Amino acid sequence: MSSKALQVKQEALLHECLISIGSNIEPERHFAQAFTLLGSECELVLHSQAISTPPVGFLDQPDFLNAALLVRTPLDHAMFRAYLKAVEDRLGRVRGPNKSGPRTMDLDIVAWDGELLDQSYLAYDYVRLPVDEVLAASGRSLRMRED
């Protein structure tokens, strides 16, 4: 098998995942740590610029830093979702009764292999704007989920 054919076969085994990333506890530091972790443990294809956004839901907290990442992974969807939760934990995420409260890191799968999974993309600018930046820069688009 030629090296080009082998490379194509290996790339076919990778899933592409669009991730929404957010933090409002030392966000610059936690973003840098998340990029380092994800870049060393996944294939980091592209990321958006970070934007500052006001909190949604629970308002008595600092503004958030939000961005989007496009990564490739050999893990399946369920395993990758669990991996992202473990990354959040490694970055000091504390899960409490207030799901909208402050956090060191929030990593949510927005799209998997080009299919939109998270309806937050349609509802919130803090998800849509960074994701759209990554889509435009990468030449990719999203398909709506067929249920």
Which domain CATH number covers 61?
3.30.70.560
Q: Quick check: is 103 catalytic? A: yes
Q: Quick check: is 72 catalytic? A: no
Catalytic residue among 63, 76, 90, 106: 106
Range(s) of the domain holding residue 113: 12-144
Give the Cα separation of 112 and 121 in Å (integer).
13
Q: Quick check: is 81 catalytic? A: no
Does the residue 135 lie in any domain? yes
Crossing angle between the packed helical segments 27-41 and 77-90, to the nearest 10 degrees: 140
Give the Cα separation of 100 and 146 in Å (integer).
29
β 64-73/43-47 pair status = antiparallel
Number of structural domains, the chain?
Answer: 1
Question: Is 112:72 a contact under the CB 8 Å cutoff?
Answer: no
- Provide the pLDDT for residue 68: 98
Does the residue 4 lie in any domain? no
Mean pLDDT of 33-50: 95
Catalytic residue among 103, 113, 125, 147: 103
- Provide the pLDDT for residue 11: 57
Catalytic residue among 60, 108, 118, 140: 108
**pTM of this structure:** 0.87
Does the residue 22 lie in any domain? yes
Does the residue 70 lie in any domain? yes
Q: Quick check: is 145 catalytic? A: no
Does the residue 3 lie in any domain? no
- Provide the pLDDT for residue 13: 86
Average pLDDT of the chain to the nearest whole number: 90
Does the residue 2 lie in any domain? no
- Provide the pLDDT for residue 56: 84
Give the Cα separation of 55 and 65 in Å (integer).
10
Distances (CA, A) of 78 to 6, 74, 83, 124: 26, 12, 9, 24
Mean pLDDT of 73-94: 96
Q: Which two tokens stand for residue 128?
A: 């849509």
Q: Which amino acid is at 138?
A: S
Mean pLDDT of 39-48: 95
Catalytic residue among 29, 76, 93, 125: 93
Mean pLDDT of 77-89: 97
- Which pLDDT band, with edges at 50, 70 and 90, does 147 fall under? low
Give the Cα separation of 110 and 39 in Å (integer).
18
- Which pLDDT band, with edges at 50, 70 and 90, does 120 fall under? very high
pLDDT of 107 > 90? The answer is yes
Residues 1-31: pLDDT tens digits?
455 544 444 556 899 999 999 999 999 999 9
Does the residue 104 lie in any domain? yes
Does the residue 1 lie in any domain? no
- Provide the pLDDT for residue 12: 62
